[in-house]
Chain A
Amino acid sequence: MKKNVKRVQKEKKPIILQSDKLSVRFGGFYAIKEFDFSIPHGELHFLIGPNGAGKTTFLDAVCGKTKYSEGTLTFNGTTNLAKLKEYEIVREGIGRKFQAPSIFPFLTVFDNLELAMKQDKRVFPILFSKMKDSDKAKIDDMLSLIGLKEQKNVVAKTLSHGQKQWLEIGMVMMQEPDLLMLDEPIAGMTEEEEEKTGELLLELKKRCSIIVVEHDMDFVRKFAEKVTVMHGGQLLCDGTMEEIQRNERVMEVYLGKKGDQANAKAL
């Protein structure tokens, strides 16, 4: 009964990203086929699935890196993402963090955040922009949030792998997005760093909706609110982590055969 009430409340929340029968085709191959997906405001949503399931391609389609062939992607209820260019999609409020840390290596941590900050990013406004105190405050806040306060004036290429990942998350967050998309944020991190990243995600959840593509099941189990499983470019199932773990089809896909209890536990 309690569970039902909770669900009703959730459905009330407005949907931030809606994918209807989305297909992405590379030549004759469908990387994503008729994928239905939606995420409400303020949710931390994990996207999992075996290699080649189309998870990263889905993020690419949303952020404009890859053009989708069929279906629709609707952002914030009304915005159709098909016609927008990458930078316009960003300005709408979608932030994307790539799998490999992509930062500006020869700029300082501070400068990296300064460039990413939400501002008028057309050529001439940038040309004549000046650093305001409020900008500095915003950047300092972000530096404390991602734990790089001491590295403020360090050239970004000297950061460790984990720090680079946090910096990029910080850069995307400086854009003040409504939807944050992260592609395997904890790949290559130590356990301690994973923990920190998880806590960071919970903190960021208060500011925006988050989609995380992840392979590390321990991490997913620990932090996931809701999980969507993709397989072969299609939706396999979605629900809470417990629901997913009980789902037979998911086990089949992940394990190749039914009922292997030892491996199922690993999932």
Chain B
Amino acid sequence: MQTISARLLERKWLFLALIIILLILPFFISDFRTNLLGRYIAFAILVIGLDLLWGYTGVLSLGHGIFFGLGAYIMAMHLSMESMTGAVPDFMTWNGITELPWFWAIFSNAISAIIGAIMVPMIIASILSFFIFRNRIRDVYFTILTQALVLVTTTLIVSQQSFTGGTNGITGFSTIFGYSLSSPATQKGLYYISVGSLIVVFLICSILVNSRFGKTLIAIRDGENRLRFSGYDTSMFKVLIFSLSAGIAGLAGMLFVMQVGIISPTMIGIIPSIEMILWVAIGGRGTLIGPVIGAILTNSAKTFFSESYPDFWLYFLGLVFVIIVIFLPGGLMSLVDKVKRRGGKHEKKRKEGTERKETNHSAVG
């Protein structure tokens, strides 16, 4: 029995179990809950990219709200153009704008909006990070810089009210690619698209971290100097991974806005950017599956608490984070690893003489 449960706790089985649960859950819960779960899945996609960046490469970004927001805003712009009755969305009319600005018009096509929601964050992230990493800005200085960038972004969005909807954000969508957004079938479709995206992103990133490239990322985290003196231009590796995580964040933002129906600066600001990092930490960084679970669990808990005990949510989140940092620095996944190791010991006892080597150590620093 022990060996079976230990094997079930291996990463791939854990992920498979999670996907099966996510696939059948909509049959047992209400449409409203399904929609909520769909949003959490969007966050789960986002944290995979963050885990590549922080857990594997050791680059802590507190600014992924920017890229999440870019993806979300680009899709929101598209949805808003799809739903508008006049030449421009309503809020523009109120601000005295009569013609669509060019950076709106290019996303009026559904395909260009989808591509844009992923590519624009990637391009902006590569340009930003190229200059940051080239100049060897790292560790806490990099983190502070990303916080500043979030602030710049949200301030810009708020100040450009006539083009961005200001603090109110962009909302009031009625259809998506011709389907009615209010119908449960569309929402369910979007839910399954989110699950599908989660699977694709997870698989791609799993292959990536187990390749030679993935080992390079871990090497950057644990000994960037050694790697540089082994002939690697480490800054270019960091640019690529930063840009990839930004693209994933853009995809997540796009899926988020489709299911939530609104995007505003407060949803992409400093606090959400930090919260994303908490999900990674709670789940267990450097494991890919851990952050996915962390994002879904934390957000479910958030909903539960804010519905039942609205005053306690923030205290609860703070408490959980403190407990994790003190007792489980490796996040929830280290709990799983502990159970697994216990199972592994039993196995070792049973099969005496066969040595069990952990070649693919989770590497949580």
Chain A residues engaging chain B, CB cutoff 8 angstroms: 63, 65, 85-87, 90-91, 96, 98, 102-108, 111, 114-116, 118, 121-123, 126-127, 129, 131, 153-155, 168, 171-172, 175
A129 to B208, CA, bound (A): 11
Q: Are A122 and B236 in contact (CB under 8 A)?
A: yes
**Chain B residues near A96 (CB-CB < 8 A):** 229
B216 within 8 A of A: yes
> How extensive is the interface on chain B, given as a class?
20 to 34
Q: Are A105 and B222 in contact (CB under 8 A)?
A: yes
Shortest B320–chain A CB gap in Å is 26
Shortest B121–chain A CB gap in Å is 19
Shortest A12–chain B CB gap in Å is 31
**Taking A107-B218, A114-B215 as contacts, is the C-beta distance between A175 and B226 under 8 angstroms?**
no
- Which of chain B's residues has its CB closest to A91's CB? B231
B105 within 8 A of A: no
Q: A126-B232, A171-B230, A172-B230 are in contact. List 13 more A-B contacts (CB 8 A).
A: A87-B228, A87-B231, A87-B232, A90-B231, A102-B225, A115-B215, A115-B219, A115-B227, A121-B233, A129-B212, A153-B357, A155-B358, A175-B230
Q: Are A102 and B357 in contact (CB under 8 A)?
A: no
Q: Are B229 and A63 in contact (CB under 8 A)?
A: yes
Shortest A101–chain B CB gap in Å is 10
A126 to B222, CA, bound (A): 18
Interface string of B301-331 (1 = CB under 8 A from A): 0000000000000000000000000000000
Q: Which of B229, B236, B363 has the most CB of A within 10 A?
A: B229
Q: Are B226 and A102 in contact (CB under 8 A)?
A: yes
CB within 8 Å: A-B pair count:
91
- Which of chain A's residues has its CB closest to B364's CB? A106
Q: Which listed residue, B222, B223, B232, B365, touches A121 by the CB 8 Å rule?
A: B232
- Which of chain A's residues has its CB closest to B221's CB? A106
B359 within 8 A of A: yes
B240 within 8 A of A: yes
B237 within 8 A of A: yes
Shortest A129–chain B CB gap in Å is 5
Q: Which of B211, B231, B357 has the most CB of A within 10 A?
A: B231
**Taking A107-B215, A115-B215 as contacts, is the C-beta distance between A175 and B231 under 8 angstroms?**
yes
Interface string of B238-281 (1 = CB under 8 A from A): 00100000000000000000000000000000000000000000
Shortest A208–chain B CB gap in Å is 15
**Taking A102-B223, A123-B237 as contacts, is the C-beta distance between A115 and B216 under 8 angstroms?**
yes
A59 to B222, CA, bound (A): 23
A107 to B219, CA, bound (A): 8
A96 to B226, CA, bound (A): 9
**Chain B residues near A175 (CB-CB < 8 A):** 230-231
Interface SS, B side: helix
Shortest B356–chain A CB gap in Å is 11
**Taking A115-B227, A129-B212, A153-B357 as contacts, is the C-beta distance between A106 and B232 under 8 angstroms?**
no
**Taking A104-B226, A106-B218 as contacts, is the C-beta distance between A126 and B359 under 8 angstroms?**
no
**Taking A114-B212, A153-B359 as contacts, is the C-beta distance between A90 and B226 under 8 angstroms?**
no
A107 to B56, CA, bound (A): 12
B213 within 8 A of A: yes
B350 within 8 A of A: no
**Chain B residues near A115 (CB-CB < 8 A):** 212, 215-216, 219, 227, 230, 232
Q: Are A108 and B230 in contact (CB under 8 A)?
A: no
A111 to B215, CA, bound (A): 7
Shortest A263–chain B CB gap in Å is 37
A103 to B223, CA, bound (A): 7
Shortest B57–chain A CB gap in Å is 13
Shortest B59–chain A CB gap in Å is 15
**Chain B residues near A154 (CB-CB < 8 A):** 357
Shortest B134–chain A CB gap in Å is 11
Q: Are B231 and A106 in contact (CB under 8 A)?
A: no
Q: Are B240 and A123 in contact (CB under 8 A)?
A: yes
- Which of chain B's residues has its CB closest to A96's CB? B229
**Chain B residues near A123 (CB-CB < 8 A):** 233, 236-237, 240
**Chain A residues near B361 (CB-CB < 8 A):** 106, 108, 155
Q: Which listed residue, A86, A108, A126, touches B228 by the CB 8 Å rule?
A: A86
Q: Which listed residue, A87, A105, A116, touches B233 by the CB 8 Å rule?
A: A87
Q: Which listed residue, B216, B218, B226, B357, touches A126 by the CB 8 Å rule?
A: B216
Interface string of B328-365 (1 = CB under 8 A from A): 00000000000000000000000000000111010101
